[in-house]
Each structure stands twice: as structure tokens, then as C-alpha cells.
Amino acid sequence: VSNATHRTLWCELAWLGGDAPEPGVVLDIAGERIVAVSAGVAVPPPDAERRAGLTLPGLVNAHSHAFHRALRGRTQAGRGSFWTWRDQMYAVAATLDPERYLALATAVYAEMALAGITTIGEFHYLHDGTNAMGEALIEAAGRAGVRITLLDTCYLHGGIGRERSGVQCRFGDSTVAAWMARNEDRAAPPAHARLGAAIHSVRAVDPDAAAQVAEWSAARTVPLHAHVSEQPAENEACLAAYGRTPTALLDDAGALSARFCAVHATHVTEDDIARLGRAGAAVALCPTTERDLADGIGPASALAGRGVRLCLGSDSHAVIDQFEEARAVELQERLASGERGHHRAAALLRAASLEGATALGWDAGIGPGALADFVTVRLDSVRLAGTRPADALAAAVFVATAADVDAVTVGGRDAVRAGRHQLVDDVPRALAGAIASVS
Ligand SMILES: [Zn+2]
């Protein structure tokens, strides 16, 4: 019944974009879209399915590398840095083929669905110069009941002025022309998928090639993402080689626009922030990964203050929990500044949902005509019991975890009901099996 073409849902509380959730929200759904929204309906209509708790727009994971999930829990021994972690990541990458990646990514995307994520931005560079792995990722998202924007990543060099070596050879195309030809060779994506482009970083793509990828994405009006200033060493190498910061280099290459999303932007300058703001660009913050890799704390308030749209990604999947990513943006800024209240709960929820969708080329939001992508968080768990309706947004951001997600609907269909995935029978078992096969 609940996957029929027409559905009516009555949500106890739903966030429609304001500073507080609305009580008694009825959603009428036809096919994959919401056709009508009525708030303040105290008594559920007799034919309506009831959604207790707080209903939010679908959460969006704007930056994912699905295979990094296999590293969770394995990289915490001893000291080290981003660069030593990267060696461990390369070892997993070496074992993957399309069949194994399909199994792994299906399980990882199912974990994301259980966490309330309805749309994933997959920053995909492990492609062996073919489209087989990318096709597997699109298929995996379909099997997990979620949407994907495949950001096929141009990766040409092993570092500034260096050839790719070892497993990096699997990440690349021989030239930017080969990257373009491969992306033009793709079949049209299925309804749950969209295509975009990515520049891996200024380490892996030279300025001329970056300009060509930017031009290619502009001609097709697709999203363009790039890792930007995750590490001080990247800035130093870029300044030494090109006399500019990575953001300035990408700006000069024509990459910055409202379709552009800088991933991390942890070590950006005032001028970089101004450039991103002028372009109407987005930044994908990945706080749980950035803290895991000792990257540093990004200037989220300064970016938002310049009009940069913030979205969130779980990147290395050290954890998959968009509530944790959202509160980390505020909480780490508190620690760094000695002050509270940098980002309102509603702004953090926007980052976790609507802004991510925009950065991935999807429309979003709970409103007439929108895709019927939403997630319901229970407020009666041991963590959230006692939450007053007026505090529900703040409770979702500052207290909820992925385990509080009760129901997830994508395009009018339930991917998760009562905390259980509807398409992947046993997600932990699927994860364990897939990870064992790549270890
Ligand atoms: Zn990344």
C-alpha cells in the first residue's frame, strides 16, 4: 500500500524551512512528487499514513567515496597524518573491481539510507579509465533505494609535476581529452541518477586541464566539484608551482560558479572565501573526516558570511551520520572561538539537506512539486524522549543520531520503514561480507 502511486501522509511535526517545525503536516504524494502540503492539521485524515516524530527533507551526503567505508576502524592505531591514512586507503583501492565495488557500494549506500540520506554525491575517481565502476555505483544506489549524482573525477597526475604511480594509475585517464571522451561515451542515466564532473584537486589536475573540465561541465550545466585546500601542504605546493592558491587557480581556470562545490576548503584565505562567495559557489564541509584525518577546522562562519552555501559530506565514512556532521560544524567552531551560537539549527539542517541537493543538481524541500524525498526522526528514543515540539529542530541537530531515523522515503517510495531497510535485507551482514572481500 505504502508504495502505491498516491499516498497521503500525516506528519506529527515537519520542517518546512522555517526556524521551527510545523505541527500536523499532511503530504499528498503522486508518483515521485509531493503535490500538496497542508500544515496545522490536528486530526490525521482517516486514509493517511501516520508519521510520528519529526519529518525533514531527505538528508544529502554531498561528498562520498564509497570504498573508504572499508577502512573504518582500521586506521586508528599509532600516529600519522592524512598522508599515512592515504597509503591505507590506496591498499583497499587496489583490490576493487566492478563486481566487488557493486556489492560494497550497495551496502554502504544502504547504510546511508538507514541514516536518512536520500541523495549521494559520489566523487568517483577509481575508474581505471573506463565507465564500468561508475555504472556499478549507479546500480548500487538503485539497489539501495537512493539517488546518486556520479561526479566522475578527472585525475591526471600523482602530484604537481609528478606522474601517477602505483594504485594511482587506476584513478586516472591518460589525458583530459580521454576523460572527456569517456564521459561522452556514457549511457543516459536512470531516473535515480544524475551525472556531474569533478576535478580531483590541483595536485592531480593541472591548470589547463582544470579549465577544460570546467568548460565541459559548463557546456552541460552539470555540477562541478573539487577537493580544495584540505591540507596546508597542498596550498604550499600550489603556491610554489603556480604562485596562486588552489581556489585562485580554479577561479582563473573558470571553474568557480553557482554549479561549483569546493570540498573541504579547510585552509582557504580571505581572498579565496571572497572568490567563492562572489561566484555563488558551495562548500562541502566534511567535519567527521576532517577531524579524523587531523586536517583542521574550516572557516564555516566566514564562508557563510560571504554567501557561500554550505553542505555536508561524510567523505571517508569514518562515521555515516549527517546529524553528527551538522552539529560538528557548530561545535568545533565553539571550541576554536570560545563562543557559542555561530550557526542556527535550521541553517545546519539546510546544510545537511537542501543545500546538498542543490550542489548535486537536484531540487529539494518539502513543498508542492518537490520530489517526495523525506526522512522521519523519532522523538521517543532514549536520546530524544522529552523533546518539546518547539525544540525539535535543535534536538535533531544537536542530539539525534543516525539510529533515530525511523522512515526514509525517496521519490514516494519507502527505502526505510520502522528503522529497517526495505530493499537490502540485512545491511550489517551485507557490509561485513563486502568489506571482507576487499580486505
Ligand atoms: Zn574526498
DSSP 46-57: TTPEEEEEEEEE
Query: Across the strands, what pairs with 50?
Result: 10
139-164 burial code (b ≥16 CB/10 A, e <16): bbbbbbbbbbbbbbbbbbbbebeeeb
Cα 263 to ligand 1 centre (Å): 7
Q: Mean pLDDT throughout 406-433?
A: 98
- Sign for the pseudo-dihedral over CA of 240, 250, 326, 66: negative
Q: Which residues are catalytic?
A: 264, 315
For the cut 80, the answer to whether the pLDDT of residue 77 exceeds it is no
Phi, psi (5° rounding) for residue 322? -70, -20
- Please report the pLDDT score of residue 79 as a whole number: 74
3-state secondary structure of 31: coil
DSSP-derived secondary structure letter, 243: S
DSSP-derived secondary structure letter, 162: B
- Please report the pLDDT score of residue 5 as a whole number: 86
Percent of the chain at pLDDT > 70 equals 99
Cα 368 to ligand 1 centre (Å): 34
DSSP-derived secondary structure letter, 188: P
d(CA 98, CA 131): 10
For the cut 70, the answer to whether the pLDDT of residue 389 exceeds it is yes
Helix (H) or strand (E) holding 72: none
User: What are the tens digits of pLDDT across the range 202-224?
Assistant: 999 999 999 999 999 999 999 99
- Please report the pLDDT score of residue 429 as a whole number: 98
Local confidence band at 238 (pLDDT 50, 70, 90 cut-offs): very high
119-131 burial code (b ≥16 CB/10 A, e <16): bbbbbbbbbeeeb
Give the three cell numbers for residue 79. 600516529
What single string gives the DSSP state of each residue in 41-86?
Answer: --S--TTPEEEEEEEEEPEEEEEE-GGGGGGTTTS-SS---HHHHH
Question: Quick check: pTM over 0.85?
Answer: yes
Min mean pLDDT across 161-165, 295-299, 424-428 is at: 161-165
Cα 125 to ligand 1 centre (Å): 10
d(CA 301, CA 166): 39
- Please report the pLDDT score of residue 2 as a whole number: 47
User: What are the tens digits of pLDDT across the range 285-330?
Assistant: 999 999 998 999 999 999 999 999 999 999 999 999 999 999 999 9
- Please report the pLDDT score of residue 128 as a whole number: 86
Give the three cell numbers for residue 96. 576493487
User: What are the tens digits of pLDDT across the range 133-159?
Assistant: 999 999 999 999 999 999 999 999 999
Cα 363 to ligand 1 centre (Å): 23
DSSP-derived secondary structure letter, 371: B
